[in-house]
């Protein structure tokens, strides 16, 4: 037995050494050098690379905070709790469906931002400042169309800014939190309406079980099939997705 274990260890070590040698022979060499710059353009390129890496790292937060993802994921999560199933649909499916619906709703905004801001900059027709302003204009327009004036005024007052003359005068660091709390408010309103029919089924089932003296039987076990049946009969996924997509005033 000891000889077998030693043989296995030697064989595994040989495989690892062979694999490491083959990987070392096939992978390219990567090195990082720190030295003095000879031209000012090198600093600009380095800063652009750092900025690009930073944007890529913050991309998930940007997608969540500046798009329709908030409303979709909150309502779909509340739907799962209203049905009474804790693991179905799974989190991966809810996130994937929310992302797909987000891309569907935001595609006109993304196309407009690319056409007016990013594409001219890549063709070297405009400067970076102009590209940023033109690319963020459709996103600002989308967020403004979904944000209450009350929520915007809250963060304008907190930031101690003067009353803006036009929506273009509102900075992004003020507009984004106003958009987020507006989305949260509307998502919870939709979730409340979504809960009502399932709550009625739970109350009816609990009353029937108590009248029959079956107090030891959990009502959730009996009401769950009826809630799923109701959701399927009314074509719940179609109605829910249709209502959510049409709730965005484009």
- pLDDT of 27 strictly over 80: no
- pLDDT of 164 strictly over 80: no
- pLDDT of 244 strictly over 80: yes
| Per-residue pLDDT at 38 | 53
Q: What is the mean pLDDT of the chain?
A: 74
Model confidence band, residue 33 (pLDDT cutoffs 50, 70, 90):
low
pTM of the predicted model, to two decimals?
A: 0.68
Model confidence band, residue 46 (pLDDT cutoffs 50, 70, 90):
low
Model confidence band, residue 139 (pLDDT cutoffs 50, 70, 90):
confident
pLDDT mean over 144-149: 84
- pLDDT of 26 strictly over 60: no
* Dmax (CA) of the chain: 88
| Per-residue pLDDT at 108 | 86
Task: Report d(CA 172, CA 141) in Å as an integer.
Answer: 11
| Per-residue pLDDT at 22 | 42
| Per-residue pLDDT at 114 | 78
pLDDT in tens, 53-94: 776 777 777 777 888 888 888 888 888 888 777 777 788 888
Terminal-to-terminal C-alpha distance of the chain: 73
| Per-residue pLDDT at 166 | 74
pLDDT in tens, 96-106: 888 888 888 88
Q: What angle do CA 120, 123, 125 make, to 5 degrees?
A: 60
In the chain, where are the structural domains located? Answer: 64-246
How many other C-beta atoms are found inside a 10 Å radius of the C-beta of residue 127? 11
Task: Report d(CA 195, CA 47) in Å as an integer.
Answer: 50
- pLDDT of 234 strictly over 60: yes
Phi, psi of 36 (to 5 degrees): -80, 145
């Amino acid at each position: 037995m000891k000889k077998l274990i030693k043989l296995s260890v030697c064989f595994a070590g040989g495989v690892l050494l062979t694999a490491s040698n083959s990987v070392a022979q096939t992978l390219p060499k990567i090195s990082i050098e720190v030295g003095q710059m000879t031209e000012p353009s090198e600093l600009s390129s380095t800063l652009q690379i750092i900025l690009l890496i930073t944007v890529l790292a913050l991309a998930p937060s940007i997608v969540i905070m500046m798009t329709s993802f908030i409303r979709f994921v909150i309502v779909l999560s509340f739907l799962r709790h209203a049905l009474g199933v804790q693991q179905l649909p799974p989190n991966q499916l809810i996130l994937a469906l929310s992302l797909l619906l987000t891309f569907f709703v935001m595609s006109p905004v993304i196309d407009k931002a690319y056409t007016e801001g990013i594409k001219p900059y890549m063709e070297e027709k405009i400067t970076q400042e102009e590209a940023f302003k033109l690319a963020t204009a459709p996103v600002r327009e989308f967020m403004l169309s979904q944000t209450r004036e009350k929520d915007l005024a809250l963060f304008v007052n907190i930031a101690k800014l003067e009353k803006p003359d036009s929506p273009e005068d509102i900075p992004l660091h003020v507009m984004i939190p106003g958009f987020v709390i507006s989305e949260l408010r509307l998502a919870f309103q939709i979730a409340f309406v979504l809960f009502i029919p399932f709550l009625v089924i739970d109350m009816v089932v609990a009353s029937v079980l108590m009248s029959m003296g079956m107090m030891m039987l959990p009502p959730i076990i009996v009401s769950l099939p009826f809630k799923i049946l109701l959701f399927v009969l009314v074509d719940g996924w179609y109605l829910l997705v249709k209502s959510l997509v049409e709730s965005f005033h484009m």
